Amino acid sequence: MPSLTISSSMWIMTANELKEKLTRLTVIAQRSMDYASHHRLVNQDTIRLLQPYYDGACALWENYWLRVVPAMTDSDARRKWFRDVDEVLREDRSPGPDDLTSWCLRAFLAFAALEAMHTHDMSYLSDEVNGSINQHVMRESCIQVTGRRPPTLAPQPGPPTGSSLVGTKLRMRDPNTFLDTEYTIVDFAHSTFSGYIYVLEFVASEGPQTRIVSQGELEELSSQQSRWQTRTSHR
């Protein structure tokens, strides 16, 4: 895909700047999610225990002062935004050990900055340069988080994961209300300890609700949908 044209007055990060910043923020996001999920790993029920802290972070994020990323055309505002992000995410400003809501919020901010660079700055670079950046970030962040290089594996067939599932709708009978309920996958994250986790949105009698599920739970929900659809089609 050809890169976009850069205006002479527009600030775009260089490839080396992107490698450094993307690696740092990927490590922060990963470690923040790992810390939150591992800290609550009690009786193997990480997801249920993490839910209220995640919900609290979502509520804070709605009005968070760095939630809105400045437009690409406002170079001064973008530079300041990224400086502020770096300041907030300094290692010596990490949350306290039991402040899991702030650990989730820290991950949200890191993910927002990562998305801004992927969708803004990298759209002005060639596919070859972006490929080099992504390889560097994957290798270096894996080394920093796990202490080892990422394995080189041949592609293996498996269930879809991550961003490919965002927007997917699941319709099944709610086990509590026995009502036909539609769930929409609206977000996801990945943790070294817990793997993929997904945020499902649905409407209950008290209004819109969210629910966090693991990859295994999501696959089970998909299986339930298939069985439920089979039963209803034979009525």
- Cα 5 from chain centre: 29
Structure tokens at 20: 């450094």
Q: Name which of 15-29, 94-108, 204-218 the model is least confident about.
A: 204-218
| pTM for the whole structure | 0.67
Three-state DSSP at 189 gives: strand
**Tens digit of pLDDT for each residue in 56-96?**
998 999 999 999 999 888 999 999 999 999 999 999 999 98
Using CA atoms, how far apart are residues 166 and 198, in angstroms rounded to an integer? 9
**Does the pLDDT of residue 155 top 50, yes or no?**
no
